[in-house]
Amino acid sequence: MKTRGMVVVITGASSGIGRATAVACARRGARVVLAARSGLPLEAVAAQCRRRGGAALVRRVDVTDEQAVRALAQAAVALFGRIDVWVNAAGVGILGRFDQVPVRDLRRLLDVNLLGTVNGARAALAVMRRQGHGVLIDIGSLLGGRITAPYMAGYVMSKAALAAFDEVLREELVLLGERGIKVCTVLPAGVDTPFFRNAADHSGRGLRSLPPVATPERVARAVVRAARRPRERVLVGPYARLLTGARILAPRPVRRAVAWRTDRAYLGPGGGAPDTSGTLYAPSGQGAAVHGGRHGGPRTAARRAAAAAALVAVLRAVLPRRSPSPCGPAWSAGGGGRRGRNR
């Protein structure tokens, strides 16, 4: 499927991965329908999309409101005539030990991350089944989708349930004979978005995102590729495949390593940090942005340079070195190579 002219609905489009995906789609000529709770940041994203050549429609929507999500789908069809791709990118986070997180906050997180995605899927699939085609892309996470981490029980629960939900959707679509509709689960590793800046915190230690991190633009490119050539699951980010494989081969050491790393890198030192609700109940507003300030781009460039240097070192160590021949290159030797035989 070509991106140009494609109609793409994106929830959570005011910030992070959703925002980067909107711009990436518009740059490739897609018509985008942008939904989020934050009105002004959403308008800024729409203006950015239009400058890059894509038509844009804006709707303020809380994904936990089923009627509002259904109205979003209806608005997209009314203006553009169809929905080719629906991207569920809205999400929130909470950090804190499971028994320290208020049940009210946990319930709100599950409403947004899981039931919000269910609402989007129901609205999108109703349109796509009438059309006979479409791609549903759910932004999950390596956390919950493949591995687990402490202090993030609610988030991990929501993303694990999301991965299972998508599996069920695929099975039901097959049984319904809807072969033109595809469901893709994108599983990013750490991403440089405002997620941690906007997350609720009940740890008492303060939050900071975990390096190394991928850029939102990298995830957005993976979403665009999935829209063109749908795949069931897409891993994105540094070490995503390596960590997934290691978790299967050596679950206990990896579990301990991830737990230690999370404790040291996700949470700040000491205690006394006040509890916050982040963006659980209020839109991000001025906190809406593509990046979270963890410099994912330079980190990615540094990792690539280090990987290239390591590859060169390995090749030099492994490949045999030719020793110079006293008679010159073997290719031109009188009794050896092609030139010798052709004389």
* Residues forming the active site: 155
What is the three-class DSSP state of 143? helix
Reference 218, options 201, 199, 200, 240; nearest CA is: 240
Helix, strand, coil % in the chain, rounded to nearest 5 = 50, 15, 35
Q: Backbone phi, then psi, for 107, in 5-degree steps?
A: -65, -40
DSSP element (H, E) containing 95? strand 94-95
Q: Give, for 198, the enclosing helix (H) or strand (E).
A: helix 195-198
If you search the block for the tokens 């495949």, which residue do you land on?
241
Query: Which helix (H) or strand (E) segment is 342 a member of?
Result: helix 338-342
Pair 316, 227: CB distance under 8 Å? no
Dihedral sign for Cα 332, 336, 342, 343, please.
positive
Phi, psi of 10 (to 5 degrees): -130, 120
142 with 188: CB under 8 angstroms? yes
| Separation CA 68–CA 74 (nearest Å) | 10
Q: HEC string of 150-184? A: CCCHHHHHHHHHHHHHHHHHHHHHHHHCCCCEEEE
Instruction: State which amino acid sits at residue 206.
Output: G
Omega before 102 within 30 of 0, i.e. cis: no
Distance of CA 331 to the CA centre of its chain: 52
Q: CA-to-CA distance for 108 and 111, rounded, in angstroms? A: 5
